[in-house]
Structure 1
Amino acid sequence: MTAGAPRPAHRRAAAEAAQRAFIVFGGGGELPWLRPLRRGFRHCFAALEDAGGWTVLDPLSGRLVVARLDGLPPGFDLPGFYRRAGLAVLGPFRPGGPRRSLLPPFAPFSCVSLCRAVLGAGAPFAMTPFGLFRALARRGDDRKIFLTPGAPPA
């Protein structure tokens, strides 16, 4: 970038990146307060694919991990890797635009809120990972607004 040239806005840069998002569900019962949630759906995170590779957004307890997976070969099937590891994976989705609202969100920051933020304004309402999984899985024809053109349905 040359000196004085304006930086692209984050929203415009994300739109130009042609990202695909996959939402990954799993989790045992590592933390006591997660045990009431359905086994296998106690946590979720997002894996984003763009032309340069994969980025994983994983909200852990008290910390957000953003990891660019640079060591993977081009064309690596990360969703398939997660499926073979026993995790449930939905996608690909196209990350949506921002949600417009007069009031700030009142829900606490959680793995579900992060995944909903990645999906954007059209993301279904959910409070638990299993609720998000069900809402995304049953979208049917409505889910086409999230799907990348030409991508197979989840």
Structure 2
Amino acid sequence: MSENPAKPGLQSPALAVPGPARPERAVVVFAEETRLPKLRRLKPGYRHCYAYMALPGGWVGIDPLAYMTEIKGFYDWPTEADLAGHLRGLGQCALTVPVLTPPRRLAPPLPFSCVEVVKRLIGLQSWQIRTPWELFLCLRKISLD
């Protein structure tokens, strides 16, 4: 039998580097604003969505735009704070939802969109959810608020 060509010590599971902490909850925000004419046919108030993920040490905001994805860290925001309640107080539509553990299979191959990015962030796999309004109706059922 041939020996394993891996370098000594690299085969040991004790050397495995732990992955980053998995968030337990997220705040999903639904917005009216769009500069894209094609999106104006979507339900008013539900033309865009983005998420904040609660991580150890603060929140991370992920805003999937048509031309880029903005990722910002908000490390001075306490993760135990009611971020969704605060955003609703500012007039925004926001839901706190659990981050789900999706089945270990390929997610449906749907076009890149804000909805698809948010679904993947929170572990939601569904062919039927394609618009921010449909996502809101689904998440309202599992909201932690």
Give the TM interval when normalised to the shorter protein: 0.7 to 0.9
* 2:89 is the alignment partner of 1:84: yes
Equivalent residue in structure 2 for 1:70, among 75, 85, 103: 75
* Partners of 2:73 and 2:100 in 1: CA distance: 17
1:56–1:66: 8 Å Cα contact kept in structure 2?
yes
Question: For each residue in 1:2-21, what CA deviation from the matched residue of structure 2 results, as whole angstroms up to 9, or x when unmatched?
Answer: xx743224xxx34xx45311
3-state SS in 2 of match to 1:62? coil
Q: Would you say how many aligned residue pairs link Structure 1 and Structure 2?
A: 133
Q: Which residue of 1 aligns with 2:3?
A: none
What 5-or-longer segments of structure 1 have no aligned partner? 148-152
Equivalent residue in structure 2 for 1:107, among 82, 104, 110: 110
* Partners of 1:84 and 1:25 in 2: CA distance: 14
Q: How does 1:4-153 map to 2 (within 5 A)?
A: 5-9=15-19, 13-14=20-21, 17-72=22-77, 75-97=80-102, 99-101=104-106, 105-121=108-124, 125-137=128-140, 139=141, 143=142, 153=144
Question: Given the two structures, how large is their TM-score scaled by the length of structure 1?
Answer: 0.71
Of structures 1 and 2, the larger Rg is shown by 2
Question: Given the two structures, how large is their TM-score scaled by the length of structure 2?
Answer: 0.75
Runs of 4+ in structure 1 off by over 4 angstroms are: 73-76, 121-124
Question: For each residue in 1:24-76, what CA deviation from the matched residue of structure 2 results, as whole angstroms up to 9, or x when unmatched?
Answer: 11123422111001111000011111231111111012111111112436754
2:30–2:93: 8 Å Cα contact kept in structure 1?
yes
Counterparts in 2 of 1:129 and 1:95: CA distance versus 1, 3 Å: same
1:96–1:122: 8 Å Cα contact kept in structure 2?
no
* Partners of 1:99 and 1:52 in 2: CA distance: 28
* Partners of 1:129 and 1:59 in 2: CA distance: 12
1:82–1:89: 8 Å Cα contact kept in structure 2?
yes
What is the one-letter code of the residue matched to 1:8? P
* Partners of 1:43 and 1:132 in 2: CA distance: 10
